[in-house]
Every structure is written in structure tokens, then in C-alpha cells.
Chain A
Amino acid sequence: MASVSKTFGEVHSLREVNFEIGQNEIVGLLGDNGAGKSTLVKIITGYHQPDPGGTVYWKGQPITDLDVVKARKLGVQAVYQERALADQQSLWRNIFMGRERTTFLGLLDVNRMQHETRQLMTQLMGFTSTAVTPDTSVKHMSGGERQGVAITRALHFEAELLILDEPTMGLSLSETAKVLDFVGDIKKAGKACLFIDHNIFHVHPVADRIVVLDRGRVAGQFLKGELGLEELVLELRHVAETGSLRSGAPSA
């Protein structure tokens, strides 16, 4: 995307952000609370439209009028910080939320969706308890299971670019390890991923490139090889204090 800004009333969430994700690249996005990470995500997924002057590109082509449905057709799938689940609804209704499988005249193909959900439960989510069925409502599930549902949903619909917004938030150590393994799998499968997390110890090991966002601007970016974990910690502290990297001007 090129010179993307987003203003909510008086609040400038993003200012002239230039940012790209290569094919088969895992980009870690770091930044403090309020740096604009979630806004950036919601522009890529078509939920927010950028202010006039900003453009989003997909495979080199500018995309106009990007909305959620269009972004999904292109292959952008997201796991949102807030999980975007509907608690009272069943597992299968959550998996197929907004893109229900239908037969004709919009009638739901309930059997097919339940069947696919059952397969996903054993293959991807690793549910072994017989107490959880495709009809179980999501509110009865643990934090890790709910996150599993959100990630499985994003993967099931053939993602080209997978966006993970704070995927490890609220997870136990073993659950977090699984999510991180999983990000590695995305790379092996030849897909791209934007990985957002507060925790640099989660981002650094799996990302190819790290972008630091600060108060709505890209403060800087570097390849993982250029910088060790400890140096990264120092850089981030410097960004938080001054808004730029220690090494000088931000490279776009």
C-alpha cells in the first residue's frame, strides 16, 4: 500500500503509511498500543477504507473500493484480535460465518457445513473430546479453542495472505507454541503472512522482516538477519521514546 492514511474524526490513526508484504514472506508488525496496527489490518481486509490519496495494491495492481467480501475473494484472510466469533452460535455457523455454503436459492447446506466442520475439528483444531460437536456453541469453549476456531476459519478458505492480529493473546504457553509452529507452516505452504503481536519474543523467531509502527507512521523496518533479538529490544525502546530507529532515518 502507498501513502495510506486513516482519520477517525480528529484522530489520525495512520499517517502516510507505505508498507508491503512479499509473496511467501512473513512480516512481523510491532508497535505500541494505539500505534495503528489494528487499523492497518482493517484497511488490508477491506473493513475500513483508506482516506483519499491512499492506495492499496494487490499483486502490483491498485485495488479500488476494497471491501470485506472483495478482499476475501482475493485471498486475504484474517484472524482478528477480538476473534470475531458469535458466542451463542454453533461451531459450524462460526466457521462459515458470512460465507455459508448453500444449495439453491440461498438455502443452507447444513449437512455439508457440519461435515466439513467435523473434518476441520480433527485435522486442524485437534479436538479430541466427544463433548464438542459441530453443534456446540462457541461460548462453551476455552480461549485456546476459540482461537483455534478463528485460525481454522481463516485457513479453510484458501488464504493467499493470512493476517494474524494478536493471535497469542490470552493463550497458555503450549497453545502459543502451537500458534507459532503454525505460522512456520504457512511459510512452508508458500503463503504470505502478516503477524502482529505485542510480544517481540513471539514475532522475532518466525518473521522474515519486521516493521515497526509508531503513532500511525512506519518508524522503520529491517530484515531479521540484520538484527538480533536484544538489539531489537533496544530499537523498540528507542522508537517508543523518540519515534524513530537509533540507526537514523526510517527506510521505507
Chain B
Amino acid sequence: MSTLTAQAPTVRRESGWFSAYVRSHALQIGIVGVALLIWLAFVIGAPKAFLSPQIYTAYMSTTPFFALVALPLTLVVIAGEIDLSFGSIMTFGMLAFSLVYNATHSGPLAVVACLAAGTAAGLINGAVVVRFGIPSLVATLGTQFFWRGLVNVVTGGNGTALTPFNGSVLHEGLVGRVLTDFLPAQMVWTVVVGVVMWVLLNRHRFGAHVYLVGDNVESARLMGVNVGRTKIIVFGLVGLASAFAGLVVSLQLLYYWPTLGDGYLLNTLASVFLGGTSVFGGSGTIFGTFVGAFIIGAINAGIVAVGLAGFWTQLIYGLIIVLSVAMQTYISRKLA
């Protein structure tokens, strides 16, 4: 049988496995470089705080609040979509939790209700995007208001104390300390979610379809990929993770505020984009988002520790994000 192509006309760099590895992982290396630089800057700026373990414990307890959502959100962005409603789904899940808990006084049932409500809200996002063909930016902007509005109507703005859960298995398992006083449980959960998402994205047929749908939706359709189902499931995953993150935050505070989830939007999106996931879809990594989330978390902690406060915070914050993305793009272009 004849071969199909003539000799490759372009001259390519012939290279060993090391430079091949560097080139194919340029984005990840870039983001790690940025993380190290920021960390060094903070260690130099506030050696006392950044050389003591306490700050790392504090940082591992608060970063998971948005990292837990940023990890599955990476899949949505790779699939070429966006979700702005996860903050409202956090509070919607906890509404289900508190309603079921007040009715049954069963913790496990309340947890199931919380996760089911979040998943359902996510699947509805996906269905609206796929069935009605509404751009996800618009659709989830709408559902964001809808879920939060629903929570406000039902709760009348009143919160629920979760003090009965203090010291319970649920509380210890989600926000307690693991093995030592150093490691918060939510950090372990974040790693677990990260590993599951990595396997799903890189080693599962579903993840392969997520990349294809985001890269070239027409090609994916021609090759028999179920585009609609793939998109609905990624939104469902973000819904599930949002409800779980809402549960983690509320148990940490031992109180459910109906305003839960407000203020996570930008941190979460910034984690995904800082992690090198393309706004245009088709490329991105779980590892990048994981590191990106911790860079965002470090900036939050670091600005306070270095002694910058009040009006300076947001200015520095914005500056660091823009510089990080610029640096990361520069590093990965140099390597690629």
C-alpha cells in the first residue's frame, strides 16, 4: 500500500526527550516559575510570616474554598464554555442542606440533598446552553441571579447556625485537621478532587471529548462525539463541586449565610486563566489551575502579611495577576 504524504517539507528541530518534554509542558513549567517567583518575593518581603508554618495552614484552609470549584471549572473552559453561576449554586446547595436538615435532623440526608441540588443546578445550566443554544456567558449570568434570588426569597435573608455539627464526623472529615495540626482536611479534599479531575480529563474518554469539543466543535460532531451530552456533564460537575465547596465553607464557619458564594467569582476564574487554560477552549490543564489557585491564595495571604492593607490591596492584587499572566505567557512562548 502506498504511503500518503510526501516528505515533510518543513524543517523541524530534531531533539531529545528532555527538550521535547519541556516544549510539551511549557505552560506548566511557566506557571510553576511564576509561583516560585511570587513566593520568593513574599519570603523576602515578610520573612517572619512566610517562614513560619502557620501561614501555610491558614492558606491551605481558605484556598480550597475556590480551588474546589476552579478545578472542574477548568473542564468547562476547555470545552469552550464559561460558568458564572457557581457562587449562587454554592448557596443554593446549602439552602437544600438547611431545609432538609431542619426537616429530618439527618446530617447524611442533608449532605445528599446539598450535592444533588448543586448537580441539578449545574445540569440545568448545561441544558439551557445546549438545548436553547444560549451562550453560556449569558445563560449562567441569568441562572446566577435566579438561584441567589430563589435563596433570598426562601430564607428571607436569614442564616442558619450549624453549631450542632461542631465536632461531628462530617465537620472533622471536611474541615478538621488531618494527622497533624498542620494539614486542614479541605486541602486533602482539594488534592483528591484535583486527581479525579486530572484522570477524568487526561485518561478518560470523557476528557478526550471535552478537549475535542472545545478545540473544534464541528470536527467533534463529524467524528461522532456527543457534543451536547459532553457540555451538559461538565456544567453538572461544576454544580456538584460548587455545592461541595459551599458545604466546606459553611462548616468551617459553622454558619450558613445566604450570601455564601459572593466574592468567589473572580478568584475562581482568575485561578483557571492564570493556570494557562485558554479562553478560546481546547487547551488547559488541571495542574495549571491547581497552581493558579494557590498563587491567587498566596497573593491574598501575602499582601496582608507583607503589611500592605486597605486601599493598596486591590491595586497590588490586580498588578500581580496581570504581571503573572504576562510572565507565564512569556515563559511558555520561550519554551514552546
Contacts and interface: CB of A to CB of B under 8 A. Distances in A.
A107 B220 CA distance: 19
B5 A126 contact: yes
Nearest to A144: B5
Interface string A56-100: 000000000001110010000010101111111100010011111
B12 interface: yes
Interface stretch (A27-35, A146-154, A202-210, A236-244): A146-154
A110 interface: yes
A179 B219 contact: no
Contact of A72 (B212, B215, B224): B224
A168 to B, nearest CB: 12
Contacts of B202: 108
Interface stretch (A16-24, A128-136, A214-222, A223-231): A128-136
Contact of A182 (B4, B206, B221): B4
Nearest to B208: A100
Contacts of A88: 211, 215, 282-283
B203 interface: yes
B218 interface: yes
Contact of A131 (B14, B211, B219): B14
B223 interface: yes
A211 interface: no
A110 B203 contact: yes
B211 A148 contact: no
Nearest to B10: A142
Contacts of B212: 86, 89, 93, 97-98
A147 B220 CA distance: 17
Interface string B205-231: 110110110011011111111000000
A125 B44 CA distance: 55
Contacts of A45: 222
A106 B222 contact: no
Given A97-B212, A98-B212, A102-B205, A127 B218 contact: no
A110 B201 CA distance: 13
Contacts of B282: 86-89
Contact of B221 (A47, A106, A144, A172): A47
Contacts of A123: 1, 3
Interface residues of A, number: 55
A132 B12 contact: yes
Contact of A89 (B7, B10, B215, B221): B215
Interface in A169-213: 172, 174-175, 178-179, 181-182, 185
B24 interface: yes
B153 interface: no
B256 to A, nearest CB: 36
B15 interface: yes
B319 interface: no
A252 interface: no
A151 B140 CA distance: 40
A131 B215 contact: no
Given A84-B219, A85-B216, A89-B215, A179 B12 contact: no
A235 interface: no
A98 B14 contact: no
Nearest to A188: B1
Nearest to B24: A135
A36 to B, nearest CB: 18
Contacts of B208: 93, 96, 100, 108
A178 B225 contact: no
Interface of A: 45, 47, 67-69, 72, 78, 80, 82-89, 93, 96-100, 102, 106-108, 110, 123-133, 135, 140, 142, 144-145, 147-148, 151-152, 172, 174-175, 178-179, 181-182, 185
17 contacts: A82-B219, A84-B216, A86-B211, A86-B215, A86-B219, A89-B211, A89-B215, A96-B208, A107-B205, A124-B3, A126-B7, A132-B8, A142-B9, A144-B9, A148-B3, A182-B2, A185-B2
Given A108-B204, A127-B8, A185-B2, 6 more contacts: A69-B224, A87-B215, A88-B211, A107-B203, A126-B4, A135-B24
